[in-house]
Chains A and B, each alone.
Chain A
């Protein structure tokens, strides 16, 4: 009797074991999934890099890549930390730079509060377009790179955001910061002092803060057109308790962007960008070694306009990945200064005039992402033509030919590989 019931017993046991095993498996799978669930703190490293080969004025060189990691920490739905480093070869070594580091707190749907060191919302190039995989040329337009006309980064607090305005849209930024700093270097009494203005004012040199911002207007509902106006004013850029403390600075810029994709008439995309920066520093005087005074009066500007066309709708796969770019840029720097007693100037005293640099304009060769400075401290214009081959949406091979003019023309040929990650 028992022998007959045994198979039935085994069958019942097997039936009941199935759900038990399945339940165990489900619990294990659930635990595995739970372990994969993202927490409220998310970290992400993005950034960009580029490397290439350049021939400038007949001198050829491979240029090593910049490594620019961007670190992002998002804590919950409201807090974001962002920081960008720039690591590149310069001179005989490697240069490390912290481009920005700031904390954002999302106040509401239309407003973000940002604190720390951030890129100055002065025009659009510096704030949005400078990364190598975004910039359509191997280098920045004249006066828009690392030695620019105008501020590039701030130590301060900012309110920024965007909002719809009927069919149109606006974006805005308003900030208070330490502002630019005027450096007057007079280490050698036999040599005329040098002056420069920079944004590296991380320990404010006076109590006069800068106020600035940018207002962007996108009049059409497809966001194809954006016009922006930016400004920054500070009532003092010199060190506290010096004669330069009350030297005021007014900077302003205008920018324009037109982007329209998939235009059937031209079988592709159009991208038009333009920007015009102005810097106006109050007149100030510095003493020369011969006892005379030199007046420094800086009213500088820099500008660029760039048009890119990509035949993205072409049936030819190779052609659809090409992009043709043309750019015209220029920089106008004020004369080094005026002498109080002009009639007494001879060639020697002219050559001993103080060097004045607005936000620095000194590098001799194009560094990755910077403008080509073939003749420092003078007016220049530049034509640049390029062809980009987009390997992916964030990596491109860029070929560019540029001619920079001031007293003479200097040509440059660039092949760069840019990668965003």
Chain B
């Protein structure tokens, strides 16, 4: 089989696995009250720093141990990761605060 065809075949497999995993594992950030919550209507669950730490850091590497660095060092690392990984200010702030509170 031609090399490029092998890669195309692998890519198709990758696409199938990706779709399966991503759809199967996505969670809803927005919860709708329905009958259970009466008049409260719909609301948004804000992600905590711990959740953002787990979701964003592991996109590239293992989730860091909060005790590995001091509060000041986490601030510098947070700024670095914000630039490198394209994090928003809110995400960075929450992740850094979580790491500082857990070290």
Chain A interfacial positions (CB closer than 8 Å to B) = 38, 42-44, 46, 72, 74, 80, 82, 104, 106, 108-110, 112, 114, 127-129, 133-134, 160-164, 167, 171-173, 216, 219-226, 256-261, 263, 269-270, 272, 274, 276, 303, 305, 307, 328, 330, 332, 379, 381, 390, 392-394, 420
Contacts and interface: CB of A to CB of B under 8 A. Distances in A.
Interface residues of B, number: 46
Contact of A221 (B4, B27, B58, B68): B27
Interface of B: 3-4, 6-7, 10-11, 14, 17-18, 21-22, 25-30, 54-56, 58-65, 68, 72-73, 75-77, 79-80, 82-91
Nearest to B17: A272
Contacts of A129: 60
A167 B30 contact: yes
Given A42-B76, A258-B18, A381-B3, A161 B86 contact: yes
A134 B61 contact: yes
A270 B72 CA distance: 32
Nearest to A303: B7
Interface of A is mostly: strand
Contacts of A171: 85-86
B100 to A, nearest CB: 12
Contact of A72 (B62, B80, B86): B80
Contacts of B82: 106, 112
16 contacts: A44-B73, A104-B83, A106-B79, A114-B83, A128-B84, A128-B85, A129-B60, A162-B86, A162-B91, A164-B88, A219-B22, A220-B26, A224-B25, A225-B18, A276-B11, A330-B7
Contact of A109 (B28, B30, B56, B89): B89
Given A109-B89, A224-B26, A260-B21, 18 more contacts: A38-B72, A44-B73, A46-B80, A106-B79, A112-B82, A162-B85, A162-B88, A162-B91, A220-B25, A221-B28, A225-B22, A258-B18, A260-B25, A261-B54, A261-B58, A272-B21, A305-B10, A330-B7
Contacts of B58: 259, 261, 269
Contacts of B6: 328, 381
B72 to A, nearest CB: 4
B62 A394 contact: yes
B89 A256 contact: no
B73 to A, nearest CB: 6
Contacts of A134: 60-61
Nearest to B13: A305
A225 B25 CA distance: 10
Nearest to A73: B76
Nearest to A379: B3
B44 to A, nearest CB: 10
A272 B14 contact: yes
Q: 5 closest pairs, A vs B, by CB?
A: A171-B86, A162-B86, A109-B89, A220-B26, A225-B22
A167 B60 CA distance: 21
A183 B82 CA distance: 36
